[in-house]
Amino acid sequence: MEAQTIAEALILGLVEGLTEFIPVSSTGHILLLGHFIGFDNPGKTFEVLIQLGAILAILSVYFARLLNILLALPRDPRTQRFVAGILLAFLPAAVIGFFAHGFIKTVLFESPQLICTTLLVGGIILLIIDRLPLKPRYDEITDYPLSLCFKIGCCQVLAMVPGVSRSGATIGGALLLGTDKRSAAEFSFFLAMPTMTGAFALDLYKNYDILSADDVAVISIGFVTAFLAGVAVVRWLLGYVAQHGFALFAWWRILVGTLGFAGLYFLG
């Protein structure tokens, strides 16, 4: 394995971990960056499979809470409703992702122009949402009604388009549906677990036969880097958004989308 490939995997893994849980689209970032640095991988598997590192980051940070949920699940109706809400929210993306997997990977993932557009448009929408005088009705994720969870899950489907952002779609949708900023971000964390695990499993099933030993090594490097960066972001994000909102991330999306278009124009 070449040193350049290792460096690229480290950089892309770092970008994945830093951007997965903030509303800027990690997939959009690593697809754009991979385009400009010439990173190539079979079936665009690297971008999906390194998300395992981000999944493990959530599991490590929320291990105690997840254990409590698991222990309370057989007897506590509130916990049972919360778990049902997460699974219900996961359902729309699971169904559409399964049937549209080929189109997403072979068409949407191959359009840097689309990614730049969705980054820009998503940034503007996020700015608007952040400035709306919304009045939250829900501030605790275990109190979310099942109907609300399902609607947030429908919003997550928009993130099938690279550049939209899974966390951006779920958090933005949750805010418009009456949640506060902190609980919206936290619900997005929990919803990420089945969603990203499902995407990982489906992509591995579809592409395991085209992966070489070198591909597995490169993915492993990216996944470890994504894990370490993801842990730092998960620990920091909830406190930040509760105090400052999402304007920083919206402006970042607009900046990256603009630079992406400039790069495509001048560099191709």
User: pLDDT tens digits, residue range 59-114?
Assistant: 999 999 999 999 999 999 999 999 999 999 999 999 999 999 889 988 999 899 99
Query: Which residue, among 251, 266, 262, 250, has the nearest Cα to 116 in the 3D structure?
Result: 262
pLDDT value of position 240: 92
Average pLDDT over every residue of 242-252: 93
Q: How far is CA 50 from CA 75, 244, 263, in A?
A: 36, 29, 25
Residue in this structure with the two tokens 């729309």, named with its chain if needed: 92
Q: How far apart are CA 13 and CA 177, in angstroms?
A: 33
pLDDT, position 146: 97
> Which residue would you say has higher pLDDT here, 152 or 244?
152
In angstroms, the CA 16 to CA 10 distance is 10
**pLDDT digit string, tens, across residues 188-229:** 999 999 999 998 899 888 888 888 888 888 888 998 999 999
User: pTM value?
Assistant: 0.91
206 alpha carbon, distance to own chain's centre? 20
* pLDDT tens-digit map of 129-145: 999 999 999 999 999 99
pLDDT given at position 147:
97
d(CA 45, CA 210): 10
Tell me what pLDDT residue 268 has.
74
pLDDT value, residue 1: 57
pLDDT in tens, 3-60: 788 898 999 999 999 998 999 999 999 999 999 988 877 667 887 888 888 889 989 9
